[in-house]
Amino acid sequence: MNAKDRIPPDDDFVPGDPGSTKPFVLKLAGGQLIQAGYANKPARGVLEVRFPTAFRGQPVVTITPSWRAEVGQIETLLGASSILFKCTSAQGAADYYVAWVAVGEAP
């Protein structure tokens, strides 16, 4: 993978590190776009995450909680569009994150 394939280049992204809240964006030669990141969720309820780069259509999104303690609630994906997704749970804390990956067509 060439550095030019990343949009924008983000050499400080560390996969698996919730401290890296800057999203990872990768455009593949076949026209697919992969974006991933962590979103801080300090309070219970709905969390809205905007993609750094819009997709051509609705992407496939996966989410999972990321916390340094036991997670008592699961995150539920409410929906996704070409520019954002929303999820919800009764979980939230200053050090609680939602890890996410979205895959779809590049614009």
For the chain, the average pLDDT equals 84
Separation CA 40–CA 57 (nearest Å)? 25
pTM over the 0.85 mark: no
Residue bearing tokens 């939602």: 98
Q: What are the Cα distances from residue 41, in Å, to 3, 11, 23, 77, 103?
A: 30, 24, 15, 14, 22
pLDDT digits (tens, 9 = 90+) for 10-48: 454 445 555 566 788 999 989 999 999 999 999 999 999
Domain positions in the chain are 3-105
Arch. (CATH architecture) of 3-105: Sandwich (2.60)
Which percentage of the chain shows pLDDT scores above 90?
Answer: 57
